[in-house]
Amino acid sequence: MKAIKVREDIYWVGAIDWTIRNFHGYNTGRGTTYGAYLIVDDKITLIDTVKAEYTDEMLSRIRDVVPLEDIDIIISNHVEMDHSGALPGIRKHCPNAAVYTSGPSGVKGLTAHYGADQYIPVKSGDRISIGKRSLSFVATPMLHWPDNMITYCPEERILFSNDAFGQHLATSERFDDELSLSVTLEEAKRYYGNIIMCYGRQAQEAWKTVSSLEPEMIAPSHGIIWRKHIKEILDAYRLWSENTPPGNAVVVYDSMWHSTEKMAKVIAEAFADCGMSARLYDLKGNHYSNIIPELLTSKYIAVGSPTLNSQMMPLVSSFLCYLKGLSPKDRQAFAFGSYGWSGQGIDQVESALVECGFHICMEKIRINYIPSQEQLDEIYSKVVNMIGNETKQ
Ligand code: FEO
């Protein structure tokens, strides 16, 4: 397999994972890539590796440029195995290469995964020379593991950003100007929502640091390389990490006999009639990880469930479990649902929304069996009034 030239003497030597559709619960409908980068300078440097099962693909791309034995330096920006899994495979060929990692967290993580080695910890501000070029490091802890860091080459103004600014997107194209920007930004938003959203403060710090570097190229370890639309991806990260969503609304539900669905539709209509952009998701037809990114740009979330054997519906439970780990701050939420004789499911939804850290902006709405038109009208009015009261505050 061939290396892909990024700049003179700089190559993408990663792997394309066309088939992956589930990344730790995240529906990766367009597959992904694992980005590794080779810099041929006085010291030949490999930045990040790939998932273990793609070791041979990475090695063949490196061999397209240099013998594996010639690698002098390996930079591990992130311990997670989609980026470090091929480390043992490359180390066999260059056992004397220096392996730089992010401080004690990186050393601890690599040791736990691959055994003790001569890992060299680096911290923010450290800089190494590799010949005509240098590489400096910026720790980005909890973006999204404790060990994350990014590596910057000031002479080339290229940022090797690892997970940050990435997208789960398998393509033969490698650069943002070779692909539809709307697709790439959509996948960047899905990536941010499902991986980074809960670390908004850290993302905001990273955005500030990266913006101050004024990179000409951002080379993440998932998806395409940003070289034309740097402003667009930085603006998007600023917006998402600022966590000041416009007054949009997401209505998410499961339904058994369409009663909760009728409620969901009238709730979405009320939000829309108040001038908000409203989105309605039936969990039977929408994977929860496709809904999560909507929270980045929504102030309100309404979640509905009927009650099945004294429980909320399983799909609603899964959605709320996933959401709890990712919850953005300062969102307004309420629960709703129809029920037959007990209705605990609606209480459970509300409790889960509280556990997500959301502010309950309206008392939960419960309808016995089938909502009448009068009851639907009442639900509509309640939502409109709630929005009106919120707006006045
Ligand atoms: Fe792409 Fe956190 O690994």
Q: How confident is the model at residue 41 (pLDDT cuts 50, 70, 90)?
A: very high
Q: Is 37 assigned a catalytic role?
A: no
- Between the CA of 71 and the centroid of ligand 1 the distance, in Å, is 23
Alpha carbon distance 14, 347 (integer Å): 48
Q: Which residues of 345-359 are buried (b: 16+ CB within 10 A; e: fewer)?
A: bbbbbbebbeebebe
* Cβ proximity of 49 and 87 under 8 Å: yes
Q: Is 133 in the pocket of ligand 1 (CB under 6 A)?
A: no
DSSP 8-state symbol, 310? T
Per-residue pLDDT for 391 more than 80? no
Amino acid at 379: I
Alpha carbon distance 321, 312 (integer Å): 12
Q: How confident is the model at residue 361 (pLDDT cuts 50, 70, 90)?
A: very high
Alpha carbon distance 221, 47 (integer Å): 9
- The Cβ of residue 1 has, within 10 Å, a number of other Cβ atoms equal to 15
**230: Cβ–Cβ under 8 A, 6 or more apart, which residues?**
215, 216, 217, 218
User: What is the pLDDT, as a whole number, of residue 390?
Assistant: 80
- Between the CA of 108 and the centroid of ligand 1 the distance, in Å, is 17
Instruction: State the average pLDDT over residues 213-228.
Output: 98
* Cβ proximity of 326 and 240 under 8 Å: no
Alpha carbon distance 316, 284 (integer Å): 9
Tokens found for residue 39: 């810099």
Q: How far is CA 310 from the centre of its chain?
A: 34
- Between the CA of 317 and the centroid of ligand 1 the distance, in Å, is 26
**193: Cβ–Cβ under 8 A, 6 or more apart, which residues?**
240, 292, 293, 294, 295, 296, 326
Residue of 80, 187, 254, 294 marked active site: 80
Tokens found for residue 101: 């990692």
Helices (H), the chain: 55-63, 81-84, 87-91, 103-114, 181-191, 200-213, 230-242, 259-273, 288-291, 314-326, 344-355, 373-392
Q: Is 78 in the pocket of ligand 1 (CB under 6 A)?
A: yes
In DSSP notation, 328-343 reads -SS-EEEEEEEESS--
Instruction: Output the residue whose Cα is nearest ligand 1's atom 3.
Output: 80
Decide the pairing of beta strands 45-47 and 73-76.
parallel
pLDDT tens digits for range 197-210: 999 999 999 999 99
Instruction: Output the residue whose Cα is nearest ligand 1's atom 1.
Output: 163
Alpha carbon distance 42, 21 (integer Å): 40
Alpha carbon distance 259, 237 (integer Å): 39
Tokens found for residue 90: 């490359």
In which element (H, E) is residue 249 found?
A: strand 249-253
Alpha carbon distance 369, 366 (integer Å): 9
- Between the CA of 302 and the centroid of ligand 1 the distance, in Å, is 30
User: What is the pLDDT, as a whole number, of residue 244?
Assistant: 87
Per-residue pLDDT for 393 more than 80? no
Per-residue pLDDT for 392 more than 80? no
* Cβ proximity of 166 and 194 under 8 Å: no
Residue of 222, 237, 261, 287 marked active site: 222
pLDDT tens digits for range 47-90: 999 999 999 999 999 999 999 999 999 999 999 999 999 999 99
Strand partners, 307: 312
Residue of 26, 119, 152, 191 marked active site: 191
- Between the CA of 359 and the centroid of ligand 1 the distance, in Å, is 31
Q: Is 80 in the pocket of ligand 1 (CB under 6 A)?
A: yes
Tokens found for residue 294: 């909507």
The model's pTM: 0.95
Q: Is 222 assigned a catalytic role?
A: yes
Residue of 82, 187, 261, 294 marked active site: 82
**323: Cβ–Cβ under 8 A, 6 or more apart, which residues?**
288, 292, 295, 356
Instruction: Output the residue whose Cα is nearest ligand 1's atom 2.
Output: 80
Burial degree of 18 (CB within 10 A; 0-12, 13-18, 19+): exposed
Q: How confident is the model at residue 247 (pLDDT cuts 50, 70, 90)?
A: confident
Q: Is 9 assigned a catalytic role?
A: no
Alpha carbon distance 233, 362 (integer Å): 35
Give the position, in ligand 1's atom list, of the atom nearest the Cα of 222: 1
Q: Is 80 assigned a catalytic role?
A: yes
Work out the mean pLDDT of the chain and round it to a whole number: 96
pLDDT tens digits for range 174-197: 999 999 999 999 999 999 999 999
* Cβ proximity of 383 and 271 under 8 Å: yes
Q: Is 144 assigned a catalytic role?
A: yes
Q: Is 100 assigned a catalytic role?
A: no
**96: Cβ–Cβ under 8 A, 6 or more apart, which residues?**
none
Burial degree of 26 (CB within 10 A; 0-12, 13-18, 19+): buried
Tokens found for residue 43: 């010291």
* Cβ proximity of 261 and 269 under 8 Å: no
Q: Coil, strand or helix: which one is 247?
A: coil
